[in-house]
Amino acid sequence: MSDSIVCHDCGLALSAPAQQRRGEWFCPRCRARLGSSHRIRVEAVAALALAALVLWAPAMFLPLLSMDQFGLYNAVSVFSCVTALFSNGYPLVAALVAVTLLVMPLAQLLALLVTMARLRGGVSLGRWVWWYRQGREWAMPEIFLLGALIATTKLGENATLHLQAGLICLLAMVVLRLIAEALANPAALDRVMERRHDPAR
Amino acid sequence: MTRRAERQLAWALLIAAMIWLVPANTLPIMTLNGIGGQSSGTIADGIKGLFDSGMPGLALVVFTASLLVPFLKVLVLAVIYWHTPEHPAPATAARAYRWVYWIGRWSMLDVFVVALLAGLMRFGEIARVNPEPGITAFGLAVVLTMLSAHAFSPKQLWKDDDAIRANP
């Protein structure tokens, strides 16, 4: 039983391939990626998650862009987008933006950091992996960056746009998060938990 | 949750998403108030605007994320749910499901465009962007579709007896 694994997508039980096998391996029934010969580099992932966490606060609260128009000045941050939507009478959209840009990235990065710490300490991973998985789907800072690019095309010709520090922080946070996600593959985390008979999955 | 209850929840969320897609695409998503006057636009107007101002690349990105994917995603999920249980081609369905799952979140693009413009364009009477009800409907449609895909587990695509054998 210790070498048996269960496909996360189709539920098929399989025996794990020999450890020295190279490359990636997939579920024979549904073709889901089940693992690879790469081990999770705990320190590297923890460092990336921590760096992204540090960048989270400036990325959310510092101005991303500012604009001069007809002698007037205005700057926008992720947080002020949420308050603007709220004061315009769109609390549902404001909540959606707050969850996908503010709450979930923070929860995901925290969960990833705690997961790596627990992996290193040999403690049960618990619900933290669940939060990390949810964050992969519901945290959307990279989509917001593309949205910001599209938004700048709609400002009109009288506007002068300036990039601000928050945008650099957001960009750096997105890049670090993407690298951390690529290194900490959820299927690989499943394999680690199976090897240790971790009950919380 | 039983497999049957899981499918019912997935269907309910998908049908709710289909209903919200109608106002999402017919109502304006934002209004631009400026010295030159006022202009409201739907999602399709926004894509046309990008195309007309000489940015066909971005227009294509927005068209894919905001128009093509939301409808395609709902359609693909409906077809998958319809054939479940005992799906005739479970491996193909699983691949389509995974694709839909990965691409669906990019539909939030237009919500973020409106959010940023509403936050940035606040110059009182001179230039101002106000959100319009279409964006709430669109956001709800995207989230409901994502939740529906969540509620459905791809294990359902294979017959029950397979699953029992696979989970000793």
B3-166 fold: Butyryl-CoA Dehydrogenase, subunit A; domain 3 (1.20.140)
Contact by Cβ (8 Å): A166, A63? yes
Identify the domain containing residue A90 by its residue range: 42-183
Buried b (16+ CB within 10 A) or exposed e, A108-119: bbbbbbbbbebb
Q: Could you tell me the pLDDT band of residue A1, with boundaries at 50, 70 and 90?
A: very low
Nearest chain A Cα distance for residue B45, angstroms: 12
**Yes or no, beta carbons of B127 and A70 under 8 Å apart:** yes
> In this complex, is the C-beta atom of B64 within 8 Å of any C-beta atom belonging to chain A?
no
pLDDT tens per residue, range B17-51: 999 999 999 999 999 887 777 888 899 998 998 88
Q: Is the pLDDT of residue B167 over 60?
A: no
> What is the rounded CA–CA span in Å between residue B48 and residue B55?
10
Return the minimum-mean-pLDDT range out of A6-10, A177-181, A183-187, A193-197.
A193-197
3-class SS at A106?
A: helix
Q: Is A151 a domain residue?
A: yes
Judging contacts by C-beta atoms under 8 Å, the chain B residues touching residue A83 are 119
Continuous segment of H or E residues that includes residue A26:
strand A24-26
pLDDT tens per residue, range B60-117: 999 999 999 999 999 999 999 998 877 788 888 888 998 888 888 999 999 999 999 9
> What is the rounded CA–CA span in Å between residue B87 and residue A77?
47
The sheet carrying A65-69 orders its strands as A72-76, A65-69, A160-163
> What is the rounded CA–CA span in Å between residue A130 and residue A92?
25
Number of H helices, E strands in chain B: 8, 4
Radius of gyration for the alpha carbons in chain A, expressed in angstroms and rounded: 21
Judging contacts by C-beta atoms under 8 Å, the chain B residues touching residue A156 are 34, 127
Q: Is A200 a domain residue?
A: no
pLDDT tens per residue, range A119-141: 888 888 878 989 999 999 999 99
Q: Is the pLDDT of residue A3 over 70?
A: no
> What is the rounded CA–CA span in Å between residue B21 and residue B101?
18
Number of structural domains found in chain A: 1
Residue that has been written with the tokens 């090897």 in this structure: A195
**pLDDT of res. A198:** 63
Identify the bridge partners of residue B40 per DSSP, sorted by sequence position.
B31
Fill in the DSSP letter of residue A71: T
Contact by Cβ (8 Å): A167, A60? no
Judging contacts by C-beta atoms under 8 Å, the chain A residues touching residue B109 are 143, 146-147, 150
Contact by Cβ (8 Å): B107, B66? yes
> In this complex, is the C-beta atom of A95 within 8 Å of any C-beta atom belonging to chain B?
no
Chain B, residues 91-120, CB within 8 A of chain A, namely 91, 94-95, 98, 101, 105-106, 108-120
Contact by Cβ (8 Å): B136, B110? no
Buried b (16+ CB within 10 A) or exposed e, B133-149: ebbbbbbbbbbbbbbbb
Q: Is A5 a domain residue?
A: no
Structure tokens of A144?
A: 């917001």
Contact by Cβ (8 Å): B81, B7? yes
Among candidates A96, A143, A146 on the partner chain, residue whose Cβ is nearest the Cβ of B139: A96
- How is chain B split into domains, by residue range? 3-166
Q: Which residues contact B61 (CB under 8 A, 6 or more apart)?
A: A146, A150, B109
Among candidates A10, A77, A146 on the partner chain, residue whose Cβ is nearest the Cβ of B94: A10
